[in-house]
Amino acid sequence: MGVLSAVLYSTVAFMPLFLVPLQIAGVRKGFKAMIASAVFSSFIIAVWQTLALARSGGSSAGMLAMSISTPAAMTIALVCMAMPRFSTFSFPSRALFGAAVASTISLPSIFAALKEPGVRALFIEAFEMAGSAIGAGALDAETLWSAMRTGIASSYGAILFVFLFFSAWSGSRFGDSLRFKTNPAVPEKDQPSLPPALSAYRVPAPFVWALLAAWSGLLLNRFFPSFVLSAVTLNVALALSICYGVQGLAVAGALAERVGLAPALRILAPIVLILLLVSGTAGLIALGVLALLGTLETWIPFRAAPKGELP
């Protein structure tokens, strides 16, 4: 699994999936196996990144640190999320903690690399080449460079959260499907902390106040602009909105099961979710509705069985 993780990271199309094999290792063989896979993956990625930078001639201390620390930070965060001692914490809490850990480890090296003149020149050259390729002759590379630096600070933590959240979730589901009855049971003390089934997924009630505070902070930032306030509140708002969007999906599934649509929903839900993610504005609106539905469950028990349906 560690080798597979490193191979996935070395590609472009499948790089977002490089954490999934590590989660599968934890589900099938236990937390110690997950650590071993993570260490092996990080070592291979570090060696490969070093050789790739040396071959390209663009190697520098900042670029090398960024290339190695980013995947290593995400791997460490995923392992932290699966630690057995954290099993009493909710999955959203662990995913948010993991994103904070990964951001703390990797952001300093990213900003250090972005300050290097060589890195800046490399990115500006890439922007100009891309502009020429698509016929955008008036593309302002300097403006794009500044926008990229601002964008990293404004959404980097939320992007890491998405990777960690869905890698842990999909890896756990896929690992369960690969687990055979002939496999020896994982000792209880080596059981990793795994995401719950969608039907049991809930965001802790106090998180709703952090969500409201984050969106309020974004509104306040429109009248009293502050880069730090904008970066913090946007990352928190996006991450928590995703948490509540998944809860909204769980609510929709429970309501569909109540009216007898559960079998069809199991087949159609993944397809619909993918279509929403790639459908632009309409998808954002639909995901916003799911986040609102999940948020409202803090006060309205949508998944509570009506009295007539209680056993």
In this predicted structure, the answer to whether residue 44 has a pLDDT above a threshold of 80 is yes
Q: How confident is the model at residue 12 (pLDDT cuts 50, 70, 90)?
A: confident
Domain range list for the chain: 1-176, 196-306
Give how far Cα 98 sits from Cα of 136, 153, 168, 270, Å: 39, 17, 11, 25
pLDDT of residue 311: 44
pLDDT of residue 7: 94
119 and 113 in contact (C-beta within 8 Å)? yes
What is the pLDDT averaged over residues 258-271? 61
Q: How confident is the model at residue 134 (pLDDT cuts 50, 70, 90)?
A: low
pLDDT above 90 covers what percent of the chain?
41
Structure tokens at 25: 């290792």
Residue 108, Cβ neighbours under 10 Å: how many? 13
Closest CA to 173 of 194, 153, 188: 194
pLDDT of residue 58: 57
Q: How confident is the model at residue 140 (pLDDT cuts 50, 70, 90)?
A: low
Q: How confident is the model at residue 236 (pLDDT cuts 50, 70, 90)?
A: very high
Greatest Cα-to-Cα distance within the chain, rounded to the nearest angstrom: 71
Express each pLDDT in 87-133 by its tens digit. 899 999 999 999 999 999 998 888 787 777 766 666 666 666 665 65
pLDDT of residue 230: 86
Structure tokens at 246: 């998944």
Average pLDDT, the chain: 82
pLDDT of residue 310: 47
Name the H helices within 11-116. 20-29, 31-56, 61-81, 91-114
Lowest mean pLDDT among 37-41, 185-189, 243-247: 185-189
Q: How confident is the model at residue 59 (pLDDT cuts 50, 70, 90)?
A: low
Structure tokens at 214: 């984050």
pLDDT of residue 181: 47
In this predicted structure, the answer to whether residue 182 has a pLDDT above a threshold of 50 is no
The distance from CA 102 to its chain's CA centroid, rounded to whole angstroms, is 11
